[in-house]
Amino acid sequence: MLATVGGLLVVPLAALAANVPRELASSFAGAPTSFQFPPADVTPVTFPDPNFPDAAQVGFPGPTPTGDEAFALATAPAVAQTECFDPIVRPDTSDRRGSTFNVVRNWGNLSPWFSLPAGTFGLPKASPLVPNGCDLTQVHILHRHGARYPTSGSAPAAFAAKIQSLANSTGFDATGPLEFLATWEYKLGAEILTPLGRQQLYDLGVNARVRYGVLLKGFTDIPVWRTTSEGVLQFAAGFFGVQQFTTSYHQLIEIESPGFNTTLAPYEICKNNNVPTIGGLGNTKAAEWAAVYTVPTIKRLSKHITNVNLTSTDIVAMQMLCAYESVALGYSAFCDLFTESEWESFEYFIDLGFWYSNGPGGSTVAAQGVGYVQELISRLTQTRITDFNTAVNSTIVSSNVTFPLVQPIFVDASHDTVISSIAVALNLTSLAKGGPLPTDRIAKDRQWVVSHVAPFGTNLVAQVLSCPAKSAGVANLTTGSTSGTPTHVRWILNDAVVPLTGVQGCTEDQDGLCNIDTYIAGTQARIDEIDFQFDCLGNYTIPEPDDITDGRAPR
């Protein structure tokens, strides 16, 4: 019996139940479920792990000087208060913009990780959520380590040495905003992660477990995850928990040292990366910009110090010190010295360095990134790499022990410059919009912002999806997952989906999806157009102005 109320047809609940049973509680409602990893029939890792030597056995640890202990409760003027555990006191600008401007998001590759808004790369309707009509079958997580000390011999240490040597010789008188320099000490170590850096990777591991943990159910063996250093450890600790992580995955450490083939540190074999006019071009371009933007800063700050001639290099070093001290010690007195516009200029300084050395404007960049892209296609097609003429290490990728082709979750830990090179090798061309970048002014319409591409903890994630309704031809591949045949791929950079329209054959899609077969063919064409031997090892010069935008040497 149907009734009407206010002219609307009212369907009794019982009638609805008959037609649309799915809207009622299913017999599963409230049922307890659980899952255990590693599954009972899989042997956990025991030590020593024969095919996976630990860091001490692999050797080549690189520099690891520790810094001084932090004591933010005495050195910072306030306690950091944020929604999550975050040890950094957020600095304000010297022109006091307060909440309207976030200094820490203008530190380029030294910015702590933050989630990018959906529209960052041009897809405002997309999100990391699995799109309607799709199931997730696999993820490839490529991430950077968390916050670390400066690399050995970089600008901050050189600035400290200059100040110390002047203090020992002529002495100097610092007043006003620079007064702190009279008693300032250099407490930073080199290279290794800071406490915040360890937290960031642990958090990333927790985040990945909550987002993608269900894919663990597709593993029939212990995962093999790769790193160049011990970077993946904290990620795994967050992902598996501190009691279980060492026995829950095999850690493959790739050697990061000159002359070794390592797709996660390809500069070690790309000779032209060390040529100042090629791989070092970013330094030159960034220095040109520093000479422009620091002029008023030098003038302003020089009034507060005697016997010290501040240079553009010093100003940049002081801005870097703000970032490094903040992420290591919780607070930095250097931060308060700079205006909003000087922070935007600093971000642009880093953007230029990356654009011309590790981004779309560098001639060895696609070549450096292409090794990982070959490995990705090897995994997506379940076909072993047979031609070795890039940074791929044939020993590692030829074995299904060290390089399994089927895993529901792949994890690779690497560096800022490498992840940005891989983005270029993947032809994520939306990142190159607004380039080439000028060195006499800020290109306001650029997409290339390093705090978006390669902050501490940056992560570039490929989701492999099964979207039956959207697909014509589908790949016949195993992903390890039980959620269907893969039909689509998309890339997500720090939570913002990246368009794939730069990949031959991929069309515009509001969710950033590309048909998997099309994606594989287009990316294979990209691999084929990149000439590692010439770009990395050839003898050439880059014409001035450098108008490269696809990361390859001019032919």
Ligand X SMILES: *[C@@H]1O[C@H](CO)[C@@H](O)[C@H](O)[C@H]1NC(C)=O
Residues forming the site for ligand X (CB under 6 A): 161, 164-165, 168, 255, 260-261, 269, 307, 309, 388-390, 393-396, 400, 427, 429, 476, 485, 502-504, 522, 525-526, 529, 539, 549-550
Q: Minimum Å distance from CB 104 to ligand X?
A: 31
Pairing type for strands 459-466 and 135-144 reads antiparallel
- Torsion, Cα 374 376 379 383, to 10 degrees, reads -20
Question: To which H or E segment does residue 379 belong?
Answer: helix 365-381
Least distance between ligand X and beta carbon 20 (Å) = 31
Nearer to ligand X, 82 or 307 (CB): 307
* Token code pair at residue 160: 């400290």
Of 170, 189, 498, the C-alpha closest to 325 is 189
Residue with Cβ nearer ligand X (64 or 394): 394
Nearest to 411 by CA among 550, 108, 209: 209
Residue among 90 and 470 whose Cβ is closer to ligand X: 470
For the CB of residue 476, give the shortest distance to ligand X in the complex, in Å.
4
The residue type at 33:
T
**What minimum distance in Å lies between the beta carbon of 444 and ligand X?**
21
- Residue 281 has a CB neighbour count (10 Å cut-off) of 24
Q: Is the Cβ of residue 115 or residue 220 nearer to ligand X in the bound state?
A: 220
Cβ nearer to ligand X, comparing 265 with 321:
265
Provide, rounded to whole angstroms, the least separation between the CB of residue 190 and ligand X: 18
d(CA 99, CA 78): 16
**221 and 39 Cβ atoms separated by less than 8 Å:** no
Nearer to ligand X, 83 or 445 (CB): 445
Among all chains, which residue has been given the structure tokens 């590790």? 358
Tell me whether residue 12 or residue 65 sits nearer to ligand X (CB atom): 65
Which CB sits closer to ligand X, 110 or 367? 367
Q: Where are the alpha helices (DSSP H) in 12-81?
A: 13-19, 55-58, 72-75
- For residues 490 and 504, is the Cβ–Cβ distance under 8 A? no
CB of 544: closest distance to ligand X in angstroms?
17
Query: What does each C-alpha distance from 319 to 316, 324, 325 come to in angstroms?
Result: 5, 9, 10
Per DSSP, the three-state class of 107 is: coil
Contact 85, 394 (CB under 8 A): no
CB of 327 to ligand X, least distance (A): 26
Least Cβ distance, residue 393 to ligand X (angstroms): 4
For ligand X, the closer of residues 368 and 439 by Cβ is 368
Beta bridge partners of 411: 141
155 close to 296: Cβ distance less than 8 angstroms? no
Quote the least distance from Cβ 265 to ligand X, whole Å: 10
CA angle 550, 491, 452 (to 5 degrees): 70
Residue 315 C-beta: closest distance to ligand X, Å: 16
Q: CB under 8 Å to 310, separation ≥6 — which residues?
A: 298, 301, 302
Residue number with CB closer to ligand X (102 or 382)? 382
Q: Quick one: 106 or 481, whose CB is closer to ligand X?
A: 481
Nearer to ligand X, 139 or 500 (CB): 500
Sequence-ordered strand ranges (E) for 306-451? 409-414
Q: Which long-range contacts (CB under 8 A, 24 or more apart) does 258-263 make?
A: 260/60, 260/393, 261/371, 261/388, 261/391, 261/392, 261/393, 261/394, 262/228, 262/391, 262/393, 263/371, 263/372, 263/374, 263/375, 263/390, 263/391, 263/392, 263/393
Q: How far is the CB of 93 from ligand X (least distance, A)?
A: 28
Exposure on the CB side of residue 72, measured as CA atoms within 13 A: 18
Cα separation, 286 vs 355, in Å, equals 10
Q: What is the rounded CA–CA span in Å between residue 278 and residue 350?
A: 17
The residue to which tokens 């591409």 are assigned: 453
Which CB sits closer to ligand X, 232 or 396?
Answer: 396
Interatomic CA distance for residues 523 and 505, integer angstroms: 9
**Considering the complex, what minimum distance in angstroms separates the CB of residue 333 from ligand X?**
21
Report which of 415, 426, 431 is spatially closest to residue 370, judged by C-alpha positions: 426
Q: Which residue, 397 or 419, is less far from ligand X as judged by CB? A: 397
The least distance separating ligand X from the CB of residue 91, rounded to whole angstroms, comes to 28
- Distance in Å, CB of 15 to ligand X, minimum: 40
Cα–Cα distance between 318 and 408 in angstroms, integer?
A: 44
Query: What span, in angstroms and rounded, lies between the C-alpha atoms of 16 and 20?
Result: 6
